[in-house]
Structure formats: C-alpha cells, structure tokens
Amino acid sequence: MKSNFKWIRPAWILSLLLSLSLVLSACGGGESKPTGAGEETKPVKVKLQLKWLPQTQFAGYFVALEKGYYREEGLDVEILPGGPDIVPEQQVANGTAHIGNSWVASLLSHQEEGFPLVEIAQISQRSGLVLVSKKSAGINRPEDLKGKKIGSWMGGLEFEILALLDKYGIDADSDVKLTKQGFTMDQFFNDQLDTASALTHNEFPLVLSQGIPESDLNVIDMNDEGVAMLQDNLFANTEWLENNRDAAVKFLRASIRGWADAIENPEAAVDIVMKSVDEGSTTREHQLSMMKAIGELILPKGTDPSQIGRIDPALFKQTADIAYQFGVIKEEADLSKAYTTEIWDSAAK
C-alpha cells in the first residue's frame, strides 16, 4: 500500500501543477496582474482640435483635463490649439485630431464638401453675435438699420445679419451699407460704423472696458430676433466614431463635467486656462469676462446643467436653413446625417 502511494503521488501533483499552469496562462501568465489588466486598461488617446487659441471660450475642456475627469474615464486627452491657419474640420477629417470644435455653419459646409464628419454635441445653446451701436446712431430697433453702415467680419460671419435684414424687409445691397469690419473695435470707437458686430464673450466686454457704459448703447440680439445661428459645437470623424463610440461618450461626459464646473466657478476656470495662454496675449480680467459670457451661452438662465451639450433639433434646423438661404451650403442639409444625438444621450445617463 505504501509502495503504491509513492508512485501515485507524483502523478497527482504533476496533474495539479499542469492544471494550475493552464489557469495562470489564461490569466496572462504567472504575473501578479488582475484579470483584464494590460491592453484593456491602457488609456484611450483622444485628440481635441480647438477652433482658436486657448482661452476661456474652451474652458470646460481645460478644466476637465486639469481635474482629471478625462483620466477617470480612462482617456488620455490632448487639447490641440487652433489659430488663423488651422481649420478644425480638416484636422479631424485627416485624422490629425479625433474630435473638433467649430461653428455649425462651418461644419455644414465641410460636410457638404464630403468631409467625413458628424456633430455629437452642441456646446453653445445661443448665438453670441449682437449688433452694438451708440445711442447717438438712433438704432433703437432692427427697422432703424435701414440707411445705416453695418460692420461685419464677413468670411461667413455675416449670415445672421443678412437673415435679420431679410426678416425686416431691408435689402442688404441697396438699403444698407454692409462694411467689412476689422478684428478690433476701432471703427466703432471712431464712429466709422453706425453699428458693429460684437460677440458677447469678446468684443462687447471690450467696448465696456473702454469706458462706454452699457446705458449708452443699443444692442440687437440675434437670439431675440429669431435669426441666431448655433456656434461652438463638438464633431467627430465618422470612421473614428464608429470604432470608438465608448471613448466619444466618455469624452463628452467628462467635458460636460468640466463645463459645469467652469460655469459654477469662473474664477477657478480662468486660473486653469491661463496656464495654457500665451503670456502677454490677453489679460486675466478679459478672460474672466469671457468666461462669464460664454457660460450664459452654454447654460442659458433657467437651464439645468444636465442639459449642457444637448442638440436642439429646432435650433439646428434654423441654423441649417439660414446657411442654405444665404449660400453657405448649396443644398438643404440632411439633418439625419449632420448630427447624432446618440453620444449625448449616452453621456447624459
């Protein structure tokens, strides 16, 4: 009996060791890693292409990056600065970036050209464009624009103005003088324009900072007039999105958290953004006023923070209709392909 046991025991141990070896191999070898460790836990790289240079117009993304919201979602996010020679749609279409930030009219025109892009979130819920005039110009209502010299940056930024004029039966060619406006407000300050284009988060605070009280100004708001075109959005490369839907959802969820924080605490958001701003290119005071104004566009008064980034089909269609009316796009936009609400719906859960 003892003799038999001595011969059976080595075979039993060998069998046990072999079974244990197979189990360890299935778990990634004899390494002390948890199940699923390795490639599955490696952060997913996501590159975001901004429309312009770092500023509080994009604060939500910088806040999400600084506070680790992207990292918590398993993402390695890189924010690529924009500039005058960078077209976000091109960068995303050619794979230099995965997600881009632009204005809806610009996205629509690139989609029509065949760029493989789709909007996944609408960050600005309102247009930031206003027409500002000194009370001495006598422009108390849109009808008073007739016969006036109107400043516009052109290059695709005039279409809300054209839609406004059309609404009130004012001929843009004969009833007004639509004038190319520089990217400073000098023409307005020097009375070379009766009314000038201004963004609520940029030029309008600049006017106020020059000592002109708001009580001395008249403002025509494109939102109030029903001719607003949606601006800052997020769009993705369609091929990348097809293969990285989860990453897009996680990116958007973290970005919404970043925006909610930035709007709730603009001072802290400015501190974060200023770390990425070129020294001497702006001031903290200007970035703070921009942050507060941007917050009002992203989260209009009375809106629940959970709605940040939601695409409003009616406002998107309004933007697309104006773009078609004034030739930004040659054919009416196919809204079923222009944007998808699926990513936001999943991120908002």
pTM of the model: 0.85
Task: Look at residue 4 in the predicted model and tell me its pLDDT.
Answer: 36
pLDDT per residue as tens digits for the range 280-331? 889 999 999 999 999 999 999 999 999 999 999 999 999 999 999 999 999 9
pLDDT per residue as tens digits for the range 209-263? 999 999 999 999 999 999 999 999 999 999 999 999 999 999 999 999 999 999 9
The rounded distance, in Å, linking the Cα atoms of 36 and 117 is: 33
Yes or no: say if 123 and 51 are a contact pair by the CB < 8 Å rule. no
Residue 6 has pLDDT above 60, yes or no: no
Average pLDDT estimate for 92-118: 97
Residue 8 has pLDDT above 60, yes or no: no
The rounded distance, in Å, linking the Cα atoms of 196 and 187 is: 8
CA angle 85, 86, 91 (to 5 degrees): 150
Yes or no: say if 68 and 199 are a contact pair by the CB < 8 Å rule. no
Cβ contacts of 318 within 8 Å, gap of 6 or more: 226, 228, 229
Q: Which tokens hold the place of 274?
A: 């200023």
The rounded distance, in Å, linking the Cα atoms of 241 and 233 is: 16
Residue 266 has pLDDT above 60, yes or no: yes
For residue 121, what is the enclosing H or E element?
Answer: strand 117-122
Greatest alpha-carbon span in the chain: 116
pLDDT per residue as tens digits for the range 157-201? 899 999 999 999 999 999 999 999 998 899 999 999 999 999 999
Query: What is the DSSP secondary-structure string of 61-109?
Result: HHHHHHTTHHHHTTEEEEEEP--TT--HHHHHHTTS-SEEEEEHHHHHH
Domain boundaries, the chain: 42-124+230-347, 129-221
Average pLDDT estimate for 118-127: 98
CATH class of 129-221: alpha beta
For residue 150, what is the enclosing H or E element?
Answer: strand 149-152
Yes or no: say if 266 and 299 are a contact pair by the CB < 8 Å rule. no
The rounded distance, in Å, linking the Cα atoms of 289 and 173 is: 36
Yes or no: say if 287 and 56 are a contact pair by the CB < 8 Å rule. yes
Q: Which tokens hold the place of 272?
A: 């974060």
Q: Name the H helices within the chain.
A: 2-26, 59-66, 69-72, 88-93, 104-112, 159-167, 186-189, 203-209, 238-243, 245-264, 266-274, 284-298, 313-325, 335-338, 342-347
Helix or strand or coil: residue 236?
strand
Fold of 42-124+230-347: D-Maltodextrin-Binding Protein; domain 2 (3.40.190)
Average pLDDT estimate for 128-136: 97
Q: Using only C-alpha atoms, what is the Rg of the chain?
A: 27
Instruction: Decide if 42-124+230-347 and 129-221 have a common fold.
Output: yes
Phi, psi of 288 (to 5 degrees): -70, -45
Task: Look at residue 13 in the predicted model and tell me its pLDDT.
Answer: 35
Tell me the pLDDT band of 347, cut-offs 50, 70 and 90. very high
- Residue 339 pairs in a beta bridge with 119
- 142-167: burial string, b at 16+ Cβ within 10 Å, e else: bebbeebbbbbbeeebbbbbbbbbee
